Amino acid sequence: MTSPLQPPAPAASPVGSDPARFSITTRDLCLWYTKFQALRNVTVNIRHGLITSLIGPSGCGKTTLLRCFNRVNERYGYVTTRGEIRILDKNIYDPDVSLIELRKKVGMVFQRPNPLPISVYENVVFGIRLHRDSDSLRRSQLDEEVEKALTEVGLWNDLKDRLDAKATTLQLEQQQKLCIARLLPLKPDIILMDEPCSALDVEGTQAIEELMFSLKGRYTIVIVTHNMAQARRASDECIFMLMGELMEHTRTEELFLTPRHPKTADYIEGRYG
């Protein structure tokens, strides 16, 4: 049976002659924490295969928006959502959408690395064991998945002889890469990153950004960052949010060099936030 979130066949772009399709589309998205409205009529198209940064002052709604894309906000009983989010051309609020399938397609990496306190090997195959019939997989198949995922995030050469090591003993940069590797065997289309470099030093930040560059194209990456320099150097497009509203969304270089909205200019020039 076809998953409700199976990628659609390529279609003509809805915007001019641009061939890029959208991985995420929201329409009039609103969200309330009890009575506080955190998102106000957010309408946005996030392009397939690019790195898109969500920027704005603390409390502007960027992390809330990010967590809408895999419906993580719904873990809290006091959240109310209205509007539409289409991922791979499917409204993720449709009743036939499986949250398990959605979160396989839309993986998430958090501020601080959160590897499981088990071996490197078992971290990578954790999702396979959870979501697939791992009993039917030979050890050689699991080994192949581990090597492929760790190679993709640049860890294989460093860890191929340490696969039994406890993941929490790794350097923070390696832990964060491992958290990304843990997503890959589930074949996600989208990777959400909530300030993934906030716990890292300069070298670790550079390593994660280089990893993002290597993954883009194969995956759509959406990153929340407070670091304007990071947003400028690491993303293809930027979304500026303020008080729960989307103020501006354009190519990163255009947003930083020729912002259309005065409030965007005020923010990136450091007048507030």
Q: Are 220 and 47 in contact (CB under 8 A)?
A: yes
Residue 89: its pLDDT value, please? Answer: 81
CATH number of the domain located at residue range(s) 22-268 in this protein: 3.40.50.300
Indicate the pTM of the whole model: 0.89
Question: Is the CB of residue 66 less than 8 Å from the CB of residue 192?
Answer: yes
pLDDT band of residue 35 (cuts 50, 70, 90) is very high
Q: Hey, what are 68's tokens?
A: 């809408």
Query: What are the pLDDT digits (tens) for 36-49?
Result: 999 999 999 999 99
Give the 3-state secondary structure of residue 2.
coil
230 phi, psi to nearest 5 deg: -65, -45
Q: Beta strand 220-224 with 51-55: parallel, antiparallel or unpaired?
A: parallel
Band (5; pLDDT cuts 50, 70, 90): low
The pLDDT confidence band at residue 77, using thresholds 50, 70 and 90, is confident
pLDDT digit string (tens) for 143-200? 999 999 999 999 999 999 999 999 999 999 999 999 999 999 999 999 999 999 999 9
Q: What is the pLDDT of residue 227?
A: 93
> What does each C-alpha distance from 113 to 118, 136, 163, 179, 195 come to in angstroms?
14, 30, 18, 7, 11
